[in-house]
Amino acid sequence: MARCAVCDVTSSYISKEIGVCLRCIRERPEDALPHAMCAHRRSRTAFGLPERPPKNPDGLTCKICVNECRIPENGIGYCGLRRNEGGKIRDVSSQRGKLSWYHDPLPTNCVGDWVCPGGTGAGYPEYAYCPGPERGYKNLAVFFHACSFNCLFCQNWHFREETLKPRTRSVDELVADVVERTSCICYFGGDPVPQLPFSLRASRLAMERNKGRILRVCWETNGSMNRHLLDRMVELALKSGGCIKFDLKAWNENL
């Protein structure tokens, strides 16, 4: 139960953290959004992440996602992954990333499972090993440790505990874990967007090393990527029989 700081209504549907009601966010954004922004600020500073995308006119520009950060010397991008050190972007690249991974037996809890070749056999025999769910095969789930958004009630919020840790892993390490029974790779997180150059490179290498057999490449994303990178993703997903799953966060711009 909380009270809306704008219209004074009390309701169990009002989040204590945000402090304003849904109606005010939709209909009185100029009054409500400053309260919501405070909640965002608190949630980011708790993890040492920048409060908003840096826009330093002399900073280094990153165009991987819609934030289009301009990162000042010794500063980091909104996602927390890219650091401007002496005029060069450091920390992650198309070769090294901040991520972890594990195998999940198919059929799995992947959101595309009810339509995809792995869960249904759609596209068999070109894109699926069986005419039904691919029992006996595995999905390589790749969890990225950063995001380009800051959803306040993120179900995978714990990725933020990893974002600023220095450890990175290489494309080769990930691809080496694609085994004979891996029939799909799914990138999620956090969100794959801030590390798309890494997942695109890893996917190409994995497909090359597994030529002649089915290996689907899928992404689950908030859709905030640069369009050119989206084109590359679509090419690989279509070629391999994989899916791109867009997680639409809100239909109303103020949300």
Question: Long-range contacts made by residues 110-115, C-beta under 8 angstroms, separation at least 24?
Answer: 110/139, 110/141, 110/186, 110/218, 110/220, 111/220, 111/245, 111/247, 112/218, 112/220, 112/243, 112/245, 115/243
Residues 157, 2: Cα–Cα separation, whole Å: 23
Cβ distance to ligand SF4 smaller for residue 15 or 100:
100
Tell me if 78 contacts ligand SF4 by CB under 6 A: yes
Residue with smaller CB distance to ligand SF4, 69 or 99: 69
Nearest to 81 by CA among 245, 71, 73, 173: 71
Work out whether 25 is an interface residue with Zn ion (CB under 5 A): no
Binding to ligand SF4 by CB under 6 A, coded x per residue (else -) over 94-123, reads ------------x-x-x-xx--xxxx----
Kindly state whether residue 25 participates in binding ligand SF4, applying the rule CB under 6 A. no
Question: CA–CA separation, 202 vs 210, rounded Å?
Answer: 12
Q: Which does 4 bind (CB under 5 to 8 A by kind): ligand SF4, Zn ion, none?
A: Zn ion
Q: Contacting Zn ion (CB under 5 A), which of 21, 99, 175, 184?
A: 21
Evaluate the omega torsion of the peptide bond into residue 54 and state whether it is cis, within 30 degrees of 0: no
Q: Which stretch binds ligand SF4 (CB under 6 A): 5-13, 75-83, 94-102, 172-180?
A: 75-83
Query: Helices 227-240 and 196-209 sit at what angle, rounded to 10 degrees?
Result: 20
Beta carbons within 8 Å of 141's beta carbon, 6+ residues apart: 101, 102, 103, 104, 108, 110, 186, 188
Pull the structure tokens for residue 81: 């992954």
Closest to ligand SF4 by CB, 200 vs 243, is: 243
Site for ligand SF4 in 190-249 (CB under 6 A): 194, 216, 218, 242-243
- Residues 41-70 vs ligand SF4: string with x where CB under 6 A? ------------x--------x-xx-xxx-
Residue 48 CB, nearest distance to ligand SF4 (Å)?
Answer: 15
By CB under 6 A, residue 186 contacts ligand SF4: yes
Nearer of residues 25 and 193 to ligand SF4, judged by Cβ: 193
